[in-house]
Homo-oligomer: A and B are copies of this chain.
């Protein structure tokens, strides 16, 4: 694998336990959707966000969503995630959820690479086998 990944799209269906009593997906759940797409992108890159025995971890330092339209039970939707910024120690993603042509919500998330053996957590450069697999997306809007 020589090409670098800058984005990924995951198709997903709304599950029953994700819907709240207002009949729409609970707003906190979108952050898990964004994370599922991120982890699928890492797998596509041949990596795991939480590899056994790995000395670094990737806590989130910021996350946000703007909600345009509700999602309902059993609807299928796409989670588009792209890398919009990358430094030695952090990656920022932008994420858009779409149901067909409709934009449901758009979010952002920033992760940092930390040394898991140190307390308190402190940022450290991504190992090259991770850094070399990703790049910033060309089509940032």
Q: Which residues of A contact B (CB under 8 A)?
A: 15-17, 19-24, 26-29, 31-32, 35-36, 39, 43, 48-50, 57, 59-67, 69-70, 73-74, 116, 120-121
Enumerate 23 A-B pairs (CB-CB under 8 Å) in ascending A order.
A15-B32, A15-B36, A17-B26, A17-B35, A20-B21, A21-B22, A21-B23, A22-B116, A27-B60, A28-B31, A28-B32, A28-B63, A31-B31, A48-B73, A48-B74, A50-B74, A59-B67, A61-B67, A62-B65, A62-B67, A63-B67, A64-B64, A69-B120
Cβ contact within 8 Å between B16 and A21: yes
Cβ contact within 8 Å between B16 and A50: yes
